[in-house]
Amino acid sequence: MKINLDEIIDPMEGRIVVTHDSSGHPHARFDLQGLPRVDGMLVGKTALEALKMTEHLCGICPVAHHLAGTRALDALSGLTPLTSAAQLIRRLLHYGSIVEAHSLRFLMQDRDAGVALKRISKKMLVAAGSPGHFPATAVPGGVSMWPATPTLCDLSADLATTRDAAAALCDAALASSPEAAGAGDFTGADVALIDDNGAPDVFGTRVRVARNTSAVDEFEFSQWNDRITEEIPGSPAPRPYLRVEGPENGRYRVGPVAQLSVGTLSTPRAATAQARWLAGGRGAAGARAIITLHVLERTEALTQQLTQLVEGADRGELVDPATVRFTAGSGTGLVDGPRGILAHTYALGADGTIAQARILTPTAQNEPWLAQLLTQASALDQAQQADAWEQSIREADPCLPISSAPAGQMGLKVENV
């Protein structure tokens, strides 16, 4: 079953709803009602059928859905832990998707750098076995192909130059210190993935919650639905919150800003840029550039490791998805994508079909943050509001093409209620 969101929503239009309290103060929110949840459509499907459906759910972040869904099914496949080679291939695929997504934002800032990043991201995706728009690399319990050594060498040859271009983008973003109104004053928590050493990691294995850059909680994937709950379950705008803090105080955000706010990055040039970012405006534009640089730095070492593994005898076996047998139970998979954490949870029945499904997108998780930004923008003079609304949407980055639209071309509709 193929899902075409373009048939349900207008991807180039956004709706802002503004209400006023009894004191006349405005409160604005971005309307997500046109973004349907497909969780219920997965019920009754087999694990692999559901996985294929979600891979084609979002044309903007297909790799994130591909990997989050596969990670959710890994534990139910009986084929864990994954081999080192399989983990590296998946990580390379994820890195490529992040560079590709962020490169589109840099085209307006520095066209040559943006084109270079787009080009290297394509090489990363090809090397990871997904040359088309929709991914075809990961399968429950492993991967379906090995990268070719010449392809990895071709990728390695261009990484240093592209990394320097990403570093220049970081310098430019930090020098101009772009910051949406109130971007640094979010009242909620930051939530992002970390590695086993506690460093921010977009393909990490644990979740960290931080407030004002100080960690307040950490937990495993399996605890996601125990720690994160929805105020309006099943709604396109479910208002998720940290269960222990309640809906009033437990709001949080995800994405590049959160990724830089939960710990120190593990690569040198990106960590240096991160320190400057933390001391400055902490805007999303600079965060995207720094995460891109970090991912490229990590890719340099990754390609060397992967080349050695795929040429060796201990790389493991490829997995044919048709041969995977799943056990009944529940599995949760997370990835920290270009827009933040994407969470897939599947509960498989004894007959091998999905009995329950829950997908929580970065857009849904960041809706309270975006509402705060839009509310701050609504308090400005009318002449300033349109630009401030657009900047707020770029900052929180909902998963719609309007997020990267040129200035003045977002197609926003404002409804005063």
Question: Does residue 4 have a pLDDT over 50?
Answer: no
Query: Phi/psi at 47 (nearest 5 deg)?
Result: -60, -45
58 has binding-site annotation: yes
CATH code for the part of the protein at 42-179+290-356: 1.10.645.10
Q: Is 153 annotated as a binding residue?
A: no
CA distance 160 to 166: 10
Residues 357/42, Cβ–Cβ less than 8 Å: yes
The percentage of the chain sitting over the pLDDT mark of 70, rounded to a whole number, equals 95
Q: 170: annotated binding-site residue? A: no
Return the percentage of the chain with pLDDT > 90, whole number: 66
Strands (E), 129-239: 138-139, 142-143, 189-194, 206-211, 214-220, 228-230
- Whether residue 61 is annotated as binding a ligand: the answer is yes
The mean of the pLDDT values for the chain is 90
CB 28 within 8 A of CB 374: yes
- Smallest Cα–Cα separation from 299: which of 82, 91, 64, 63? 91
Residue 188 to residue 249: CA distance in whole angstroms = 7
Given a cut of 80, whether residue 135 has pLDDT beyond it is yes
**pLDDT at site 257:** 96
Structure tokens at 222: 């399996």
Who has greater pLDDT, 315 or 120? Answer: 120
Question: Letter for the amino acid at 13?
Answer: E
How far, in Å, CA of 193 to CA of 202, rounded?
6
Q: Please give the pLDDT value at position 12.
A: 58
Model pLDDT, residue 20: 87
- Sign (positive/negative) of CA torsion 292, 293, 298, 302? positive
Helices (H) and strands (E) in the chain, counts: 13, 14
Whether the pLDDT of residue 129 is over 90: the answer is: yes
Task: Report the amino acid identity of residue 78.
Answer: G
Residue 55: per-residue pLDDT: 80
Residue 13's pLDDT band (cuts 50, 70, 90): confident
pLDDT tens, position by position, 146-203: 999 999 999 999 999 999 999 999 999 998 864 444 445 788 999 999 999 999 999 9
Q: Give this prediction's pTM.
A: 0.93
Q: Three-class SS of residue 95? A: helix
Task: Identify the band that residue 214 occupies on the pLDDT scale cut at 50, 70 and 90.
Answer: very high
pLDDT of residue 183: 47
E strand or H helix at 123, and its extent?
Answer: helix 111-127
Q: Where are the domains of the chain?
A: 15-35+189-265+364-391, 42-179+290-356
Prior bond of 406 cis (ω within 30°):
no
Looking up tokens 């990871």, which residue turns up?
A: 128
Q: Which residue has the higher pLDDT, 297 or 24?
A: 297
pLDDT of residue 1: 47
Q: Please say whether the beta carbons of 203 and 336 come within 8 A.
A: yes
pLDDT digits (tens, 9 = 90+) for 223-280: 999 999 999 998 888 999 999 999 999 999 999 999 999 999 999 999 999 999 999 8
